[in-house]
Amino acid sequence: MKTVLILGASRGIGFEFARQYAADGWRVLATARDEEGCAKLQAVGAETFKLDVAKPASVSGLSWRLDGEKIDVALYVAGVMERASPQTPPTQQVFDDLMHANVLGAMQALPQVAPWVADADGTFAFVSSRMASLALTDSGRAALYKVSKAALNMVVRTAPSDFPNVTWLALSPGWVQTDMGGDAAPLTVQDSVTQMRATLEAASGAKQRAAVQGQFLNYDGTTLPW
């Protein structure tokens, strides 16, 4: 039985990853910030534990919790968004909250999770955003969110040198019908996650690693420009 770890799985894309993987017979390890989120995940067959990626003290015990696991796929899905433009500078609290969840949490979790992914010759993917692309940026909307996801992409780019036996990917889920994406988004959560799972499967294994290592991919597997 294959094992997937999903960091930030209580709602939206993270929850759908948990639901789909569990339905397909995978062993699902999933995190949520509170008991309510854990209970929701347990109801679809996941093994859960409480973890707040925005708090380093909460993330610090992650490696201990995973001791002895072999993780075929690890997913960092946790994240928050703001929609202000550069005309409205963020407060320190807003900046800290967003950067802690979107970047610091990822950097804290990475060295604690990667060894267990390496033991399975697996894949560690981070849910980024098309809005992180410097080449595709055409407005100042959600500037801090864009900055944070561009920084997250750099986390993915720097990881392979230290953990070469892991396949590292940044994945854009597309514009999805979630609390963050809104009802006008063209992709359902189910469609986005189904296609991202297919992209992860196509990229998995040592034979595929050289071709995709450290890449920024769209949900459908096409390459996005940095």
Q: Which amino acid is at 39?
A: A
Token readout for 60 is: 């610090």
pLDDT at 187: 82
Contact 3, 45 (CB under 8 A): no
User: Whole-model pTM?
Assistant: 0.95
- pLDDT band (50, 70, 90) for residue 179: low
Sheet of 3-7, strand order: 47-50, 27-32, 3-7, 73-76, 123-127, 167-172, 215-218
pLDDT, mean over the chain? 93
Asked if residue 178 has pLDDT above 80, the reply is no
* Distance of alpha carbon 128 from alpha carbon 146, whole angstroms: 9
What domains can you pick out in the chain, each with its CATH number?
3-218 (3.40.50.720)
pLDDT at residue 149 in the model: 97
34-48, 88-102, 109-123, range with the lowest pLDDT: 88-102
The span from the CA of 55 to the CA of 105, in Å, is 7
1-12 per-position pLDDT tens digit: 999 999 999 999
Whether the CB-CB separation of 130 and 173 falls below 8 Å is answered with no
The better pLDDT of the pair 183, 210 is held by 210
* Residue 177 in this model has a pLDDT that exceeds 90: no
The answer, yes or no, to whether residue 224 has pLDDT greater than 70, is yes
Q: Is the pLDDT of residue 182 over 80?
A: no
Pairwise pLDDT comparison (224 vs 79), residue with the higher score:
224
Residue pLDDT, tens place only, 120-141: 999 999 999 999 999 999 988 8
Averaged pLDDT, 171-196: 84
